[in-house]
Structure 1
Amino acid sequence: MIICNAQLHLAPSLIMKSIHKPIKTKPLMKFILVSSSFCAISLCVSVLLLATPKIVEVGSSPQYVSDPTTVDHLVFGIASSGISWPKRKEYSKIWWNWKLNKTMRGCVFVDTLPHEENANNNNDGSRPPLCVSEDTSQFLYTYKPGGLRSAIRVARVVKETVALNHSGVRWYVFGDDDTIFFPQNLVKTLSKYDHRLWYYVGSYSEIYEGSQVFGFGMAFGGGGFAISSSLAQVLAKVFDSCIQRYSHLYGSDARVYSCITELGVGLTHEPGFHQVDLRGDIFGLLAAHPLTPLVSLHHPDHTDPIFPNMTTTKSLQHLFEAVNVDSERILQQTVCYERRFSWTISVSWGYGVQVFQNNMLLPDVLRVEKTFKQWKEGNVLAGIYTFNTRELHPDQCKRPTIFYLDKVSSGKDGIISSYRKYSQNCSYKEPMKKLEVIKVFTNKLYLDNKQLQIPRRHCCDVLPSNAGDSMEIAIRECKYEEMIYMH
């Protein structure tokens, strides 16, 4: 760089001298001097361009291009306790080190080590290691009625995770011990953003009341949230002094949000994070997932198992059988129409297929069916949600017929997922009476940055089939001007 700067300064001086005082040289020498100066300038410009980060235009805003973000660039801080960890540690085993063949980094922070745990219990890498939180009694924090003393320790997981001092961190990710993350989708989602800028990424609650009370600008901790490393480093330095101003707040996530707000940073909303402030059967929520990668699920202890006739843990493991094959497509909703029978078919890939025995307009299919119960019974506001809903038909036999994921396999010809009919004790008419299995054919979904920034729903076709007990569907990219509509 010093040589280049000298050359760049030398070239103009030669030019100025040649203007004021012509150099008496032969034509050949003049050509050599000019050529040498030009080469020196070209070389320096090339070096400078190589040393400068590349900028590409995406839409109207420039974005820096760096090495792809991977799970190696993430560090997790999971909030737990000595009492809850033994009951919830199997959840983290489902997603930690998920098929990545790499070592994920981070800690589960507990107030005290559980009795059955010891220093060697987590060394197999199947679950995140345990870290004992700092004793907050040494800090002169006060807390007021409504605020939880334990929320101080949990909020400080942000500071203590940064203090682990891992190298090469781009993002710090936080959640609860009952937060189920989908690591590859998390990486894909965060890769849209420049980690060198200050980002606070997450989502608010599904219920209006929760978001209205705590703020639509707050990322709910159970759904998980991510903080860019540049912001996290600054936040960690001011955190202890900041949270003393928020002793009246109920939860830890509200305190983190408040301190980030004081730094002047707002929430970057990503609907793939799910707080799941719902109870009962959340099929409707999962079957109408937003057009974005699934990043997290929360509250498995407060909802029914997502697959019938399974335990909660087995249900999540079954979902991850599809995640292992095509993580980026999991829960992506595709809708197509069966012309012969006037059926509307909604595929929530890797989870379930719904067959409506009538034509439905696409916007109506995309609404979340209220299969679940509200978080607080009897509370009117708690029954108002932050997404579009449609009512669950009181007659079970007039609801869509559901086919749940049975198995999924991947081969050289693509991916085949099979869904088996769930008996709803209804007297079906032909041909629904015969239909038992729906097979869905896809290719692996690879979401690039353009598709993540401007997603488009895929199309599907009902394939000709002679077997009356099965139906075959192929999912594909929609053609340029193709529309999804009922015929």
Structure 2
Amino acid sequence: MRLFRPASKTHPSSSIISTRTINCILLSVLIFLVYFLASLSVSRLQSKDTINAYFSSSQDQSQSLTKIHHIVFGIGSSTNSWPSRKEYVKLWWDSQRMRGCVFVDRPLSSLENHTDSHLLPPVCVSEDTSRFRYTWRGGDRNAIRIARSVLETVRLFNDSSEEVRWYVFGDDDTIFIPENLARTLSKYDHTSWYYIGSNSEIYHQNSLFAHDMAFGGGGFALSSSLANVLANKFDSCIERYPHLYGGDSRVHACVLELGVGLSLEPGFHQFDVRGNALGILTSHSTRPLVSLHHMAHLDPLFPNSTTFTAIRHLFSAVNHDPLRIFQLSVCYDRWYSWTISVSWGYTVQIESRHLFLRDVVRTQQTFRPWHKSGGLSSVYTFNTREIHRDPCQRPVTFFMEHVSSRHDSGTIKSVYKQDYENCTYDPISSPRKIEEIRVFSRRFDPVIRQLKAPRRQCCDILPTSSSAGNIMEIGIRECKEDELIYIHT
């Protein structure tokens, strides 16, 4: 008896053959689909690997470190100011490695031009700018000439046999830290369009000229790709801006017309302040120091010095470890509850009380505004903290005396001596009992990744062999992965 009867009169063997045929077809289709999907995945992976390799190669190429010889400098000057200000340029200029030109309004005398020319950039006479209008009342039409140094510098060096990645511009009293400038620019791809610098420390100055403008005194950088295009359009552009005050305003306006905004780098310093710059310098950004400006309008950086000798003294530290200059490390003495701030190569300050790090990094207002008019002219673009009127209630300050290096161990030793005030103090608990501080570190050499995301370094108070207790030794190091900077009670 059959439980299942065929639905048709088809022969049983034919039904078996049809089922097998269908199964074979389905299996073939399945195998084809698996092969196709596998091939597609491999192809996509290969394509992705190829693309990644391309971009990695491109990124590695664009991220290769910029060296000083990749940079061309354009320095705005005049026959009146150059003879006195060239001494500052000698401190940072290296004729063997640097290229550029100092632009003056008329030829210098043969004596002025040849006496120490081997220590300075070549002097170039600016082109005539009388055809351009200048309408800022009370301004100086030399601003047009200074602005056009961008165009003239590019023309001079555009066909150079050596690679030009960046054009950097500043005044004749702009003091660059060349190694730090080159390393800062290494973060950026010079084949893209970049306009790099910083603005003023004064809110009113930024409001008057532009918050997104690189102030020329602090210096600014143009990638070569941007500078070449800008130079071709520059004269026609500045004809539209006779009403602007300075050369930097004209460069800013024309860069904006090309659709490029400012890439802010706080290491460029305009220094629109007067008096004692200690507060600004001891709270410096974790970004490298790139430039200083208006130093003749500030007190000498070190006591018992002239402005020039103080800057020369600063460079004695810069030459040992440029990327660490002014970098702030903070550590604590638990026994005395002291807060110790090391602004490397410049000062060590000891507060005889516990300060949180967020309070330490607020800028001590040791300086005064550029203008005395009050209002917005006295408003700064950063957080400040007042200093005590009584010098004896202020932090005890130790200024850098000398820096030395040991080539065998790579250790750098910087020594700081107390700047004495006529104060009475407790010889047991007061930091005024310290006469000398020795700071030990290694050369600071951050890679591009660390420059893009900088982290403050840590410090420790080291055991000292001084039996009199008048010498302190400090070590600076990289912070541990999860280390916090605070006083451990």
Normalized against structure 2, the TM-score is what? Answer: 0.85
Q: Percent identity?
A: 53
Amino acid at match of 2:145: R
Tell me the SS of whatever aligns to 2:425: coil
Is it true that 1:423 corresponds to 2:420 in the alignment? yes
Match of 2:151 in 1: 159
Amino acid at match of 2:115: N
- 1:81-160 matches, within 5 Å, as 81-97=78-94, 102-115=96-109, 117-124=111-118, 126-137=119-130, 139-145=131-137, 147-160=139-152
Is it true that 1:223 corresponds to 2:224 in the alignment? no
2:71 to 71, 74, 77: 74
Deviation at 1:465, TM superposition (A): 2.0
Aligned partners of 1:147 and 1:249 also within 8 Å:
no
Aligned partners of 1:76 and 1:105 also within 8 Å:
yes
- 1:352-391 matches, within 5 Å, as 352-391=347-386
Match of 2:434 in 1: 435
Tell me the SS of whatever aligns to 1:164: helix
Match of 1:12 in 2: none
Match of 1:316 in 2: 311
Match of 2:459 in 1: 460
Structure-1 separation of matches of 2:123 and 2:87: 14
2:299 to 290, 304, 311: 304
Deviation at 1:387, TM superposition (A): 1.1
Tell me the SS of whatever aligns to 1:234: helix
Amino acid at match of 1:132: V
Point out the more displaced range, 282-291 or 65-74. 65-74
- 1:328-407 matches, within 5 Å, as 328-407=323-402
Q: Provide the aligned length of Structure 1 versus Structure 2.
A: 433
Larger Rg, first or second structure (1 or 2): 2
Deviation at 1:204, TM superposition (A): 0.3
1:420-469 CA distance string (max 9 Å, x none): 00012211222434310000000111110011011111110001224211
- 1:119-268 matches, within 5 Å, as 119-124=113-118, 126-137=119-130, 139-145=131-137, 147-165=139-157, 166=160, 167-268=162-263
Aligned partners of 1:409 and 1:416 also within 8 Å:
yes
Structure-2 separation of matches of 1:400 and 1:140: 53
Structure-2 separation of matches of 1:190 and 1:140: 33
Deviation at 1:140, TM superposition (A): 4.4
Point out the more displaced range, 101-110 or 231-240. 101-110
Structure-2 separation of matches of 1:142 and 1:303: 31
Structure-2 separation of matches of 1:373 and 1:403: 22
Deviation at 1:141, TM superposition (A): 3.2
Match of 1:474 in 2: 475
The 1:336/1:140 distance shift into structure 2, 3 A limit, reads: closer
The 1:66/1:141 distance shift into structure 2, 3 A limit, reads: same
1:251-308 CA distance string (max 9 Å, x none): 1100110000011000000000000000011011111101110000000111011001
Deviation at 1:134, TM superposition (A): 0.6
Structure-1 separation of matches of 2:66 and 2:478: 26
The 1:193/1:353 distance shift into structure 2, 3 A limit, reads: same
The 1:144/1:404 distance shift into structure 2, 3 A limit, reads: closer
Match of 1:40 in 2: none
Amino acid at match of 1:113: P
The 1:368/1:144 distance shift into structure 2, 3 A limit, reads: closer
Deviation at 1:67, TM superposition (A): 4.0
- Segments of 5+ residues of structure 1 without an aligned counterpart are 1-44
Deviation at 1:143, TM superposition (A): 3.1
- 1:6-25 matches, within 5 Å, as none
